Amino acid sequence: MQHFLASRQTIDIPVKHLFVEYKFWIEKKKPFSTVTEEVATLARQGDDFRRIIQPKKSDILYPLVTFLDHFDISTAYPLLLRLLDTGLEDEQWQIVSEILESYLLRRAVCGLTTKNYNRVFLVLTRSLHRDGTSPENIRKYLYGLKGDSTEWPSDQAFQKAWQSKHAYQTLQNPKIVHILRRLNDTYINVKSENITINSPLTVEHILPQSWIDHWPLPDGSKGLTWAERIKAESGGPMAIAADRRNALLQTLGNLTILTQALNSLVSNSGWTIKKPALLKASLLPINQQLHEADTWDESAIEERSKELFERAIKIWPRQP
């Protein structure tokens, strides 16, 4: 009822004020000509809301509402109720899903705030009431937003964050899994085997977080422990190399997904041991690409990051 009323009035409705706000809306705005029409509308939108919170895989909404769940964004629900009430065609829903997911995912990867989403989606819903409901009007509104609190990040900003941001500081595990799973799907073509994943996926650091013992630095030297790094001279070559590695290993270019976590001993072992274990543990196309990697170091992470990003901007484009 809260989301329904917000969708109709396009204002924020606190739960504690729901009864009073609904009563005022019915009595003063007179949105329905009869009680029968009111109840029929509530029943219809109740069915719409069930499609949002209990989606079926066969539903055109499934990819979008699953994304919203993974990214914990329920503030878009009034907008979805508005869109469902207008009866968009499936092709339109596909475009809307791409637009909304691109806007929200780019902001998440860039580490931008979510606190203004309630207002963003309510104002968008209001503009659709005024200008008409269409994917183009949604795109136009989001594209016109400015400033860190609401903007749709450009390709340049998206790429910079993609290749340099600490993934676990800006994203939680479900979000990372969603991103990597969508990227994995881009490697599937008509010649690929149809693989169904029924078990939960875990995130794996290809170059492990505990890399000191088995993963020498590019010059062949052993890395610095955190205690040694604190004591080391900041501008020294060892410190610079260790800092670069610790930064890159937390980026998306060094992360992948598995159906079950590797044994910690294998996970932390050198690449000659970890690579065959990882490939044996996973048939996912995103992991099978690692067959071509003879070594795994900073250069390999940066190269994979660029390659994944080229796929990412096709999945989550930003267009005027």
* pLDDT per position as a tens digit, 98-117: 999 999 999 999 999 999 99
Annotated domain spans of the chain: 2-153, 158-315
Q: How far apart are CA 81 and CA 191, in angstroms?
A: 39
Which tens digit of pLDDT belongs to each residue from 175-216?
999 999 999 999 987 666 677 777 789 999 999 999 999 999
pLDDT of the residue at 190: 65
Pair of tokens at residue 21: 């706000």
pLDDT of the residue at 234: 77
Under 8 Å between Cβ of 257 and 202: yes
Q: Euclidean distance between the first and final Cα of the chain, in Å?
A: 34
Largest distance between two CA atoms of the chain:
79
Which of the residues in the chain have pLDDT under 70? 190-193, 320
pLDDT of the residue at 264: 84
